[in-house]
Chain A
Amino acid sequence: MMRHYVTIQPDLAMLDGKFLESKEIGSALLVELYRNHIGDYPKFFKMDALCRVGFVASELLLQAENNVRFEPCDDRAVIFFNQSGSLNADTHYQATIQDPGNFFPSPAAFVYTLPNIVTGEIAIRNKYYGETSFIVLEQADSAVMARQLLNAFLDSATQSIIGGWINCDDDEHFDARLFIIERNEYADVETLAKDIETIKIQ
């Protein structure tokens, strides 16, 4: 199993296989996790739900990893997968241009209508200059994810990846299963796929 992995769903948060204490559900759970575990990044409140869940999940992973933080680095990639792209943010932004009588396109909402903004937010927070990518799949296919994550190590600069599945249907419904993998930690796609599958079941 990978050393650090995290699951955040509307009614639970688990880090490395252990439940994190929480009382709230849905969007309130993300705020609760932010306040209890992070708390020094007001930009969190400007983010859409996909970025909020990605940001909180990555922070939990990085706290568990317990390395020196916020030093510029280019050897860590951020590669996420999902099914719904930025659908939730699209809906929020669409609401600002839907009514001709109340037509005020919101730049702050539009910015999040790109799924890969979440990888950018994590890179900005941590000064990661390495690869970032966002791939849309039909479903959370562990084998496809494992293959594409291991392929990313072809970039000789990449020594580790924050990767995994991060989907957001609406502000209250999300599913993040993220992890950190190191170069040479997985010799083959099957083993990584199996571990990704394990996080899914928990």
Chain B
Amino acid sequence: MAEPILITGAGVVSAIGLGKQATLDSLLSNRSGVGKLAYLKTDHKEFPVGEVKFTNAEMRAMLGIPEGTVSTRTSLMGMLALKEALDEARLTQEMLPKVGFISGTTVGGMDMSEQFYLDYIGNEAHKEYISVHDCGSCSEMTADHFGKFAFATTLSTACSSAANAIILGANMIRCGEADIVVVGGSECITKFHLNGFNSLMILDQQPCRPFDATRNGLNLGEGAAYLVLETAESARRRGVEGLAQLSGYGNACDAFHQTASSPDGEGAYRAMKDALDMAGLDATAIDYVNAHGTGTPNNDASESQALKRVFGSVVPPVSSTKPFTGHTTSASGSIEAVFCILALQHGFLPVNLNWSQPIEDGIVPVSQSTEKELTHVLCNAFGFGGNDSSFILSKSVI
């Protein structure tokens, strides 16, 4: 990549906390946020989930949004994360008309729609929520809370949405269409997709165990994270520092099945290869991989093969952080990007919790807290539709 793109701000909220400090504390002390369902109203109490530990009313209060204002859980979590990112990058309301906003989500305002769905029919109550149902309006609501962005675009490519928002934003910067683009994603848990994932029989009734021989599915999670992408030139001009830099990225299609990953991880392999090629890095330069690692038998077997194909016999330390947060679906790419930034800044390997037995022919993930100086880390996010993305974050040298 010719001009490095800096990350000059980052914000996050997930089951392990609001903000980077709380997130870091949880990661370093191996404290998972996955537990019994407490916030979503459903009969499916048997599935552990990684919920953000606030009600919508609590989030509205934190954001200074009056009670009764139309808002969705996806947009509220998005606002919490976006606030931290904008503050850190010192982007004020006056500057937003020159800043782009790209957000990944698939669920959008479904949480409210499913509550009020029956009311919509032949009844005026809650009609105002129809207009905030779709994914686009959720992103716009999140953005509009802070001011008028130059544009607000929504990426909807399932569980790789936020990762693809990072890619789309970086492409726009490289094309000279913007100096600063805020990218990421937000997604709340809904009954809609809890039941859907359950119908696909890929939810584990135990805490998820990525890359473990006994793994039996994923736990759903929720959250949001945004990164401020910025040219080095713009950061210099504004006097802001890079937390990390985006060195390369790739998106490829597995072209195998709507939901299942191919046995040899073709799409994942190609995405990682593309990211390395763009970064101009040899595979040996990667110090840590934050895997997609959902904990489903299919994903982890496929991703293991892809990792082995990319890295050969010397696979760098790998972990899936999904036992901390659950699978935050569309937001996972940016949430895990923030985890990678924290790992780069503080020199540690996030632990793959709940792991004890290797998969036959699989990779062996990081199972102990480890301090390690990191320079380049690779992060994977794969989505249904075979939409596989991978990006490389590096210690900022600027």
A residues sitting closer than 8 Å to B (CB atoms) are 72, 74, 78, 83-87, 90, 93-94, 97-98, 105-107, 110-111, 113-117, 119-121, 123-124, 126-138, 144, 147-148, 150-152, 154-155, 157
B348 interface contact, C-beta 8 A: no
Report the interface size for chain B: residues with CB under 8 A from the other chain.
53
Q: Map CB proximity to A onto B242-271 as digits: 1 under 8 Å, 0 otherwise.
A: 000000001111111111000000110010
Among B17-25, B151-159, B358-366, which stretch is in contact with chain A? B151-159
B314 interface contact, C-beta 8 A: no
Say yes or no: A136 contacts B134, CB within 8 Å.
yes
Q: Map CB proximity to A onto B356-387 as digits: 1 under 8 Å, 0 otherwise.
A: 00000000000000000000000000011111
B residues sitting closer than 8 Å to A (CB atoms) are 106, 108, 110, 114, 117-118, 133-136, 140, 151, 153-158, 164, 168, 171-172, 174-175, 177, 191-193, 195-196, 198-201, 250-259, 266-267, 270, 274, 383-387
A136-B251 contact in complex given A90-B192, A107-B199, C-beta closer than 8 Å: no
Residues of A within 8 A of B257 (CB): 124
Q: A94-B192, A131-B253 are in contact. List 11 more A-B contacts (CB 8 A).
A: A87-B134, A107-B201, A110-B200, A116-B384, A116-B387, A127-B255, A131-B252, A136-B156, A138-B136, A152-B171, A155-B251
Tell me the smallest distance from the CB of B240 to a CB of chain A, in Å: 25
A129-B114 contact in complex given A85-B135, A90-B192, C-beta closer than 8 Å: no
Say yes or no: B385 contacts A114, CB within 8 Å.
yes
Say yes or no: A119 contacts B134, CB within 8 Å.
no
Tell me the smallest distance from the CB of A8 to a CB of chain B, in Å: 21
Say yes or no: B136 contacts A136, CB within 8 Å.
yes
Residues of B within 8 A of A135 (CB): 153-156, 168
Residues of B within 8 A of A116 (CB): 156-158, 383-385, 387
Which residue of chain A lies nearest to B108 when distances are taken between CB atoms in the complex? A85
Tell me the smallest distance from the CB of A128 to a CB of chain B, in Å: 6
Say yes or no: A97 contacts B253, CB within 8 Å.
no
Say yes or no: B267 contacts A114, CB within 8 Å.
no
Q: Which single member of B134, B250, B386 contacts A84 (CB below 8 Å)?
A: B134
How many A-B contacts are there with CB distance less than 8 Å? 160
Bound CA span A128–B252, Å = 9
Residues of B within 8 A of A119 (CB): 157, 253, 385, 387
Bound CA span A98–B117, Å = 9
Residues of A within 8 A of B156 (CB): 85-86, 114-116, 134-136
Bound CA span A155–B278, Å = 9
Q: Which single member of B172, B191, B200 contacts A107 (CB below 8 Å)?
A: B200
A124-B256 contact in complex given A94-B114, A111-B384, A129-B270, C-beta closer than 8 Å: yes
Residues of B within 8 A of A87 (CB): 133-134
Which residue of chain A lies nearest to B255 when distances are taken between CB atoms in the complex? A123
Bound CA span A115–B252, Å = 17
Which residue of chain B lies nearest to A120 when distances are taken between CB atoms in the complex? B385
Tell me the smallest distance from the CB of A170 to a CB of chain B, in Å: 15
Q: Which single member of A93, A129, A155 contacts B266 (CB below 8 Å)?
A: A129
Tell me the smallest distance from the CB of A63 to a CB of chain B, in Å: 20
Bound CA span A138–B158, Å = 19
Q: Which single member of B106, B136, B157, B255 contacts A128 (CB below 8 Å)?
A: B255
Q: Which single member of A129, A152, A154 contacts B253 (CB below 8 Å)?
A: A129
Which residue of chain B lies nearest to A113 when distances are taken between CB atoms in the complex? B196
Bound CA span A124–B258, Å = 8
Say yes or no: B385 contacts A137, CB within 8 Å.
no
Tell me the smallest distance from the CB of A167 to a CB of chain B, in Å: 12
Residues of B within 8 A of A93 (CB): 192, 196
Bound CA span A37–B122, Å = 42
Tell me the smallest distance from the CB of A166 to a CB of chain B, in Å: 12
Residues of A within 8 A of B253 (CB): 78, 119-120, 123, 128-132
Bound CA span A82–B73, Å = 23
